[in-house]
Amino acid sequence: MHSLGVFVDNVRVGTLHDTDPLSFTYTQDCLGGLVSVPFSVLVPLKPGRISIPAVTSFFENLLPEGDQRALLQARYHVTTVFGMLSKVGGDTAGSVVILPEGQNPQPDDYLPVSWDDIGALVNNATAAAPAVIAAADSNASLSGAQHKLLLLLGDGGKPSLPLNASISTHILKPDIKRTGLKVLSSAINETLIMKLAHACKLPTAHVEYLPKVQSCLVERFDRERDEAGKLKRLYQADLCQLLGKPSGVKYENDGGPSFKDCYDLVKNSSAVPLTDCHNLVQWLFFNLLAGNNDSHAKNLSMLDTHGRLRLAPFYDLMCTQVYTGLSTHFAFRVGRHFEPGQIDHQDVRALADSIGVNRRLMFRIALDIADRIEKTLPGVAEALLPLTPTGSSERILLDRVSKTIHGNIKKIRARFAPGVSAS
C-alpha cells in the first residue's frame, strides 16, 4: 500500500502518499473549487504532489502519542506515520477520514455493548468478548498520550462501539495505567478539573464520571446533528497542526509553540478574536492555579462551526501537580520562568507586554480566575463525592487535588500582589 484516500464529509479530497516526507495530492474537484477543504489553509491548494512540512505535521498530529502509539506499532507491526494512519485513520479528531486506497466511507455501523462489556475492556481487555475486542481495536484513532475508547451513546445512554470508520459521539478515558508511573485515579481528577473549569465559566467539553468503569466520559464537541438528526463531523485542528509542529515538539521547552505563538494564532484566525483571546488567557491562569502542567499547544484547538473558526472548548484538563512522576514545569514559559513556583508579578507583566495585553487587565483576569476557583471548587468536589466510596483512592484524590489548588491560589495571590498596583 503506497497511498491512502483522504475524505471530508464522505467526499474524497485527496491522496496521502507513502513518501519521505509524506506528500499529498488534491483531487481535481478540490483544485477546481467544487469541493472545499478545511485544511487547505495549511496545505495550499495546488496541482501535483505537495511535500511541504505542513503535510507531515497535519497528518502526524492525528495519531495517538506515547504508549498508545507504541501499542499500535506492536499490534499492527507498523512504525511509520503512514503505516499507522493506514490502520487507525478512521474516526479522527475533526472531520478528516483516512482509508486504505480503494475503500470509501461506508454507512455507519455499530456494535451494541453493555457497560459490563466496557468494564471488561477497561480493566482486563482479554476478558472481553472477541467481537468487543475487535470493535474496540478498530477505533483507536484519537491523538493524545492516553488510552481512549470511542463510543456512540444512544437512547438512555446505551453504549455502542463504532465499527470501521463510523462516527462517534463520546470519548471514554479510563484511569491512566502506565508502566513505571503511578497516576492515581486520573479519570476523576480530569472530571473534577473539567467541571471546575465549566463552573468558572470557561468553555469546556461536557464530561461525566462513570464509577462503574472508573472513567471520564467526554462528549465530543467536534460532532453535531444536522436538522434531520444525522451526525456529522466538524473540522478541528489543534494548535500544533496549525503552527506546523509535530506532536513530538508540543512543549515550548522542547522547541514547541510558546503561549505567544498560540495567542497570535487565535487572534489572527478566530472569527471572534476578542472573546477567544480572553478565554485563552483565562485558560492559561486556570491551568497555573489548578496545577495542570501539561497544558501544551496540542491541548488547544480551533473548531470550524458553520464556516466560522473559533477557539474550541477546552479539554484534557487535570491537576498533574499531585503526581510525583510527572513534570513540575509548566508547559509554557510565563515571563522568565517555566517553574510555577517562580512565576511572579514581573513575569505576568512581561507576558502581558509580549502579547499586547494591558498589564492591569492581565492581573485582573488572573485574580478573577483565582476568586472563581476558590468559590466554586468546594461545590464541584462535593458533587462528585457520591460517586466515590469512603476511603477510596478517588476520594483521596479529590481531597488531595482540592488542597493543592487552594495552596496554589494562596501562593499566587501573594506573588502577584506587588504587581497589581504597580501595573
Query: Which tens digits make up the pLDDT trace of 133-150?
Result: 777 766 655 444 457 889
Distance CA 162, CA 134 (A): 11
Distance CA 303, CA 272 (A): 12
The Cα-based distances of 110 to 139, 212, 221, 311 in angstroms read: 11, 22, 20, 31
* Separation in Å, CA 300 to CA 66, 83, 163, 365: 18, 26, 28, 19
CB contact at 8 A, 272 and 310? yes
Task: Count the neighbouring beta carbons within 10 Å of the beta carbon of residue 154.
Answer: 12
Amino acid at 144: G
What pLDDT, on the 0 to 100 scale, is given for residue 143? 44
> What's the pTM?
0.92
Place of cell 463525592: 385
Residue ranges of the chain with per-residue pLDDT less than 50: 142-145
Instruction: Please tell me the predicted confidence (pLDDT) of residue 423.
Output: 59
User: What's the confidence (pLDDT) of residue 145?
Assistant: 43
Contact of 11 with 24, CB cutoff 8 Å: no
**What CA–CA distance (Å, rounded) separates 117 from 134?**
12
**pLDDT attached to residue 141:** 52
CATH: 3.20.20, 3.30.70, 2.60.40, 3.30.200. Which one for 110-219? 3.30.200
Q: How many CB atoms lie within 10 A of CB 113?
A: 21
| Cβ proximity of 388 and 394 under 8 Å | yes
pLDDT in tens, 74-123: 777 888 888 888 887 777 888 899 998 888 888 888 999 999 999 888 88
CB atoms within 10 A of CB 219: 14
Predicted pLDDT of residue 250: 92
Domain ranges across the chain = 3-100, 110-219, 230-422
Position 216, amino acid: C
Average pLDDT value over all residues in the chain = 90
Task: For domain 230-422, give the fold.
Answer: 1.10.1070
Cα–Cα distance for residue pair 20/26, rounded to 1 Å: 18
Name, in order, each residue with C-beta under 8 angstroms of 414's C-beta and a sequence gap of 6 or more: none
Residue 177: count other Cβ atoms within 10 Å of its Cβ: 14
**Cα within 13 Å of Cα(350), Cβ side:** 11
In three-state secondary structure terms, 189 is helix
